[in-house]
Amino acid sequence: MVAGAWIACLPNALAADTEITRMLKGVEERYNHTQSLQVAFAETYTMKGRKRTEKGELYMRKPGRMRWEYSSPAGKLFGTDGRYAYSYFPDEKRFEKMSLKGTEDMRAPLAFLLGKLQFEKDFQGFRTLPDGPSTFLTAAPKSDKLPYTEVTFLVDPNFTIRWLNVKGQDGSQLDFAFSAEKQNPPIAESMFKFTPPLGVIYSDLSQNP
């Protein structure tokens, strides 16, 4: 009976594996073939029951260029030019330049935006949960040295990622909701040139080990 029950479960297990593989490949194909992207985002950070919500517009252009332009808080900025990452905090009048490598670990689950995400290379333990026509896809990173323990994507039938949850090693959670996605819009190269405004504290951390 036990062997028979195990054999009876095989078709369902194989079907689930096939569906996960189809979804992973679909998301990779969609974003790996996207040369530029514009999307509205809402970002919520939760730590010990306290929440901070921010929102704005994200612009992406290959290779390696991103611009997170915040409307709330107004003026806040995070961006990359393919070599370095830049952050501007207007409330603190602070502008920072960092090594791009130093920011990649924390934002690695967002690598799909740059067409760099390889699910089966970076993640393991995939599982899915239907949500109407969409599907929640959850996985754990293969490396235990990253600052997060689990990620969950909400994927539409056309393989668009509408929502992302990242669980941190420190118990924090980071949620991104995406909307109004535009594939391959014209985005000027000047959008990815970052210079500190006059009168701010400028820190170049790109040479730090």
User: Where do the structural domains in the chain lie, given as residue ranges?
Assistant: 2-204
pTM exceeds cut of 0.85: no
pLDDT at 57: 97
| Cis peptide preceding 73, ω within 30 of 0 | yes
Please measure the distance between the N-terminal and C-terminal CA atoms of the chain and give it in whole angstroms.
60
Q: How far apart are CA 108 and CA 16, in angstroms?
A: 26
Domain 2-204 sits in CATH at: 2.50.20.10
Give me the tens of pLDDT residue by residue for the chain, a chain 209 residues long: 455 554 544 444 445 678 888 889 998 888 888 899 999 999 999 998 899 999 999 999 988 899 999 999 999 999 999 888 899 999 999 999 988 775 655 555 676 676 677 888 888 999 999 999 999 999 998 888 888 899 999 999 999 999 999 998 889 999 999 999 999 999 999 999 999 999 999 999 887 55
Q: How far apart are CA 130 and CA 109, in angstroms?
A: 21
pLDDT at 108: 59
With a CB cutoff of 8 Å and minimum separation 6, the contacts of 118 are: 28
Paired residues of 206 in beta bridges: none
80 burial type by CB count under 10 A (0-12 exposed, 13-18 middle, 19+ buried): buried
pLDDT at 39: 94
